[in-house]
Structure 1
C-alpha cells in the first residue's frame, strides 16, 4: 500500500482539525503539513512535494483556485477541493475528473477521494503536469459562467494592430474570469502552461488564457522572456534570486513569494543570466 504524503489547507481552525482527524483514520495517509491560508499552502507544496492536497476553496486572500494557478506544474500534487460551492462549479469538477468533498465533510466522500488519488498515482506516477491541466480546465469552465465586463490594464483602450506594433510594446490580451485584460509585457512576471491553457502572473494577479505555451512564446519579447522549464516561462527582469538545487537544477525567486524550478535542460538560461 502506497502512503500518500498529504497537505491540508483551510482558514477555519475547527474545519482543519476535523479534516485532519478524519484523514488520520486512513492507513494510507500521512499528513505532512496543515496550512491556514493560500500562501502557506504554496510554500508547503514547494518544500514538501506532497502527493495529495486537500484544499479549501473559499479562503480570504488567495482562494483555493488561486493557489492552484500559482503552483508550477512540476510541484502540482493531486487536488481534492473542500467546498460548499455552487452547482455549476461541481459540474465543472466532475467534467474534468477533479475530486471534491462537500462541507460539512463526509467520511465516505473523503475515503472515495483518497482511493481515487491512490489509483491515479499508480496509473501515472509523477505526471504532475496532467494534475494541473485538469484543474485549470475546470477553473476556466467555472469562470466562463461569470458575467463579462471589460478592464483595460494599459495606458489607453485603443485597438492594437499586431501587424505594426513592436513586439516589446505589444500587449497580451486575456479573457479571464469576468474581464478582458490588456497586459503590458513588462508587467508579466512568469507564465506556466496547463494543457490548452496558460497561467499568466502579472501585477499581483494570475490570469488564465486559452492558448499553448508555444503560442504564448510567439507573442512575447524573446529578449525579456525565457523558457526555464518545459512548461514555464519567466521574465528575466523579475528574477530576484537564483538558488542552486540538486543535479544541475535551480530555483528562481520571482518577487517575495514565487519560487520557480529551472530544469536541467534549461540551466544555460540561468548561467547566461548570471553572466550578464
Structure 2
C-alpha cells in the first residue's frame, strides 16, 4: 500500500516566511504544496476549495489569527496542522488547538524534520485506517504519539497525562475523557484523537469507545460475539463484535 502525498497549504502573511517553509519542505518528497495564503480569509477559501491534508499555519496575522481560523473549522474537517511562528509563548495553546507540532521561526531544519517525522507517522496511520476500514489493526507502537493532552476547562487549560486516561467516549465532534472520577469534555473527534494516541496503549472496543488497556481488569463474553469489558474501577463497557478480534489480540485473550 502506497501512502499518498500530503497536499499542503502554507499560511503566513510574510512572503519570506512562506519561502522559508518551501525551502524547509524541499527535501520532503512526501509533500505537495498546493496553495499559499497571506491571511486567514484566504486560507478559509483555500481550505474549502483544496481540502488539503496538511496546513502550516502562522499565528499572528492581520485580521483573524491562526487560532481564530481553526476555531471556524469543524474538527472533523481539520487537516493536520503544524504552527510555524516566532512566538514561543503560544505553544500550549497551539497543542490545545490540536496542532501536531509547533515550529519556531527562523526555522531550524533539524527541528523542522522532527516535526515532519511526526506528521508522517500520523498521516500513515490515518491513511491505513481509511484504506482498510475502521476495524483495521492499528499501526505498530512507536515514538511520536501524544504524551499529554491540553483540555480547556472553563477559563483554564488542564494538561492531562495520556497515561492517566482510563477511557474515552465519542460524542459527535467532541469526546468525553475519563480520568479517575473526573470527566472532561474535549472539542475533538474520536477519529482524529486516535491518530495521536499510541495504539499499543489505547484500544477501540466500540465505534465510540476507546479504553486504556492498562485499566482493563476483566472481559466477559456475551451472546452473538459481543462482550463486556470491566475496568479496574468497576466501569463496564460494551465490546462490540466488530472490534472483538483486535481486542482479543491486544489483550492476549484466546
TM-score (norm 1): 0.45
